[in-house]
């Protein structure tokens, strides 16, 4: 897992792109999460913070965009 702090605009843009790519993004208590249905492994998680979002993602979901 890779972690980053992203702005709200950047995070929302990535979430939109992931949805457009066919991923089911679950939102619970302000946390966005994508879980692989087959392996039940978390592929993406974004939690709102004071200065943006703390984002964790698996390299296979984002490619080399780290």
Q: Which residues of 6-27 are buried (b: 16+ CB within 10 A; e: fewer)?
A: eeeeebeebbeebeeeebeeee
Three-state secondary structure call for residue 61: helix
Question: For each of the chain's 66 residues, which pLDDT tens digit applies?
Answer: 889 999 999 999 999 999 998 899 999 998 999 998 888 888 999 999 888 999 999 887 776 554
At 36 the pLDDT is 86
pLDDT tens-digit map of 16-32: 999 998 899 999 998 99
The answer to whether the pTM exceeds 0.95 is no
């Amino acid at each position: 897992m890779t972690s980053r702090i992203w702005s709200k605009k950047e995070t929302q843009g990535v979430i939109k792109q992931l949805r457009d790519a066919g991923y089911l993004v679950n939102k619970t208590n302000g946390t966005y999460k994508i879980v692989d249905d087959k392996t039940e492994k978390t592929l993406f998680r974004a939690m709102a913070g004071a200065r943006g979002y703390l984002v964790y993602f698996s390299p296979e979901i984002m490619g080399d965009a780290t």
